Amino acid sequence: MAESRAIPEQASKEQSATSLVDIPYRQKLLVVAGLTVTLFVATMNQTVVATAAQNIVADIGGFDRFVWLFAGFSLAATASVPIVGKLSDIAGRKLILIGSVIFFMATSAAAGFSTDMTQLIVARVLQGAAFAGVMGSVWIIMAALWAPSERAKWMGVATAGFTLSGVMGPIFGGIVSDTLSWRWVFFINIPTGAFSLLLLWIWFPNVHRDERKGRLDLMGAVLFVGAATALLLALTWGGRDYAWDSPRILGLIGGSLVAFLVFARVELKADDPMLPLNLFTHRIFAFGWLASLTTTSTFIAVTAFQPLFVQGVMGKSATSAAIPLIALAIGVAGGANVAGQILSRRGHARELGISGLSMTAVSLIFVSTLDSESSIWSLFVVTGFIGFGMSFGFTSFTVPVQNAMPISILGVVTSTLQFGRLFGQAAGSAVFGAVLFASVAGSFVGLDEDSPQVRIADPGIIVAVDELAEVRSEYLADPKLGEQRYESDLATSRNNLSAGLSTVFLVAAAFSITGVVLAWFTFSGGARTVIARRETEIADTTG
């Protein structure tokens, strides 16, 4: 088969290159520092935007397209991952990483200057492509720097940077959007990105790479982007803008299916496919990939919709909306360390995945029972458990899956797993957004378009202090409404949003339960997972 030929060819190119693992130890430490700063800058942007999203909607409107701030970003990142990986093989790791950071800074500026939701979504889509370049390059280079016996330790350093960004991002995003403007959550990427560029330019070596260059699988990339976009549009519009059985939605679903089938045919014949489909003939990889997808879909329900719950249902500030996301980051960091120790010492990947995702499902069901009277600290505690459980799932579907596959295709396996996770984020954003809009759409029915009751029924209004104050003034100015009616309608609006978000969290719990089932089948043999790898492994060293 064509796809079977492509993988060994790629492996041979990597083996013939000069190794990053051979550079001096001190220089490695400097490179790690630069990579960690770069990773921190890029990943903090995600949690910053999550906490500022409600203020964005209040300023420029577009609640009906709110989820595309996340879905568009995730879709672009998903489609770009295999393309970025191939470009780095052709042009070199350093060039692609630095170019991606510059592109990330430019798209951040475009997002900050956006005047409406359409402009902001376009900027976020481009930012997603830049993010894929940064993240993909950082993880590849981090792995290439170290021998297998040292790799896990230094991957932990990078993970610490990722986790720190998860804690700092919500705090920074809430404070900036409350005290300055939501635009500064994007503008801040410019000076911080410039600092990371300086570190990389000075410390990252120009490592020799193989002159034999592959080529981009452009047809495969175009087909996948088209298929995924059609599917996500169907999920986003279905039941909200159009009926599920409408010609538009059925056409999108049918077109997506056809495009995916053509994509599969093209990839099977390609000499150097974007996505080697023969990986999915391996049971552990196939089920592990699906489990990773469902786990990251669940993750987006927490990061994108819990801040909306805190502000829209509990009536808290954007700064307070950061509280559950901080708990999530702490839970993920702690859980990842515990899961890593368990996996390396005892194995039992199946038990690890099942226990972690079960914890996540139970915690999400509990979150679905919270309302406007609940304590934000209850949400903090339970969200910490969600993060802890999810980290068990992430760990059990990464290292064991990698170790179950031939060492010669480790890079392909890793990038394809990342591809699945990013697609899970994009699909999750669309699914949960559709669920939320379907749940709250009824609150607009039967209202006079000129009445302030229309505005107070809009979730985008009730999360914004200034907008809500204007609506209250309109209520007080209307003798038929008044203060009492304002309080009553506001409570109704918050309850409608609470009910919609409860449904979102229940659907997310169902995703976690699906992950539990997949974990059982992924490691059905119950064999101990071998974590240690041979020192003879040849690192990917394309500079």
Distance, CA of 79 to CA of 225 (rounded, Å): 6
Phi, psi (degrees; rounded to nearest 5) at 238: -60, 130
Q: What is the pLDDT of residue 212?
A: 47
Task: Specify the range with the lowest mean pLDDT, choosing from 73-77, 176-180, 406-410, 443-447.
Answer: 443-447
pLDDT digits (tens, 9 = 90+) for 128-138: 899 988 887 88
Percent of the chain with pLDDT over 90: 14
Runs of H (alpha helix) within 405-444: 410-440
Task: Specify the range with the lowest mean pLDDT, choosing from 39-43, 51-55, 252-256, 471-475.
Answer: 51-55
Q: Which fold does the domain 24-206 belong to in CATH?
A: Growth Hormone; Chain: A; (1.20.1250)
Residue 19 in tokens = 């190794």
8 A C-beta contact, residue 357 and residue 519: yes
pLDDT digits (tens, 9 = 90+) for 440-494: 765 555 555 567 777 777 776 776 667 777 888 888 877 777 888 888 888 878 8
The mean pLDDT value of the chain amounts to 77
Q: Provide mean pLDDT across the span 232-243.
A: 72
Sign of CA dihedral 275, 276, 280, 286: negative
Its pTM surpasses 0.85: no
Distance, CA of 391 to CA of 295 (rounded, Å): 9
Would 24-206 and 282-543 be classified into the same CATH topology?
Answer: yes
Distance, CA of 115 to CA of 138 (rounded, Å): 32
Of 200-209, 282-291, 308-317, 451-460, the range with the highest mean pLDDT is 282-291
Locate the domains of the chain by residue range. 1-12+215-279, 24-206, 282-543
Q: What is the band of 252 on the pLDDT scale with cuts at 50, 70, 90?
A: very high
8 A C-beta contact, residue 312 and residue 459: yes
Q: At what angle do helices 218-237 and 68-91 cross, to 10 degrees?
A: 170
8 A C-beta contact, residue 114 and residue 60: yes
Q: What is the pLDDT of residue 269?
A: 86
CA distances from 254 to 122, 249, 250, 336, 475 (A): 26, 9, 6, 40, 47
Distance, CA of 387 to CA of 74 (rounded, Å): 20
Question: Would you call 182 exposed, middle or buried from its count of C-beta atoms within 10 A (0-12, 13-18, 19+)?
Answer: buried
Q: Which long-range contacts (CB under 8 A, 24 or more apart) does 336-343 make?
A: 336/159, 336/163, 336/391, 336/394, 336/395, 338/388, 338/391, 338/392, 339/391, 339/392, 339/394, 339/395, 339/396, 340/152, 340/156, 340/395, 343/395, 343/396, 343/399, 343/400, 343/529, 343/531
Distance, CA of 103 to CA of 118 (rounded, Å): 20
8 A C-beta contact, residue 455 and residue 461: yes
Q: What is the band of 365 on the pLDDT scale with cuts at 50, 70, 90?
A: very high
Q: At what angle do helices 68-91 and 25-60 cross, to 10 degrees?
A: 150
pLDDT digits (tens, 9 = 90+) for 310-355: 888 887 877 787 788 888 888 887 887 787 777 767 667 788 889 9
CATH architecture, domain defined by 282-543: Up-down Bundle (1.20)
Instruction: Identify which has the larger pLDDT, 225 or 14.
Output: 225
Residue 372 in tokens = 């406007």
Q: What is the pLDDT of residue 100?
A: 92
Is it the case that residue 528 has pLDDT exceeding 50?
no
Q: How far is CA 154 from the centre of its chain?
A: 22
Phi, psi (degrees; rounded to nearest 5) at 180: -110, -90
| 3-state class (DSSP) for residue 116 | coil
Instruction: Identify which has the larger pLDDT, 255 or 522.
Output: 255
Q: What is the band of 4 on the pLDDT scale with cuts at 50, 70, 90?
A: very low
Task: Specify the range with the lowest mean pLDDT, choosing from 391-400, 435-444, 462-471.
Answer: 435-444
Instruction: Identify which has the larger pLDDT, 172 or 449.
Output: 172
Q: What is the pLDDT of residue 91?
A: 73
Q: What is the pLDDT of residue 17?
A: 37
pLDDT digits (tens, 9 = 90+) for 407-431: 556 656 777 787 888 778 777 877 8
Instruction: Identify which has the larger pLDDT, 496 or 254.
Output: 254
Q: What is the pLDDT of residue 358?
A: 94
Instruction: Identify which has the larger pLDDT, 489 or 512.
Output: 512
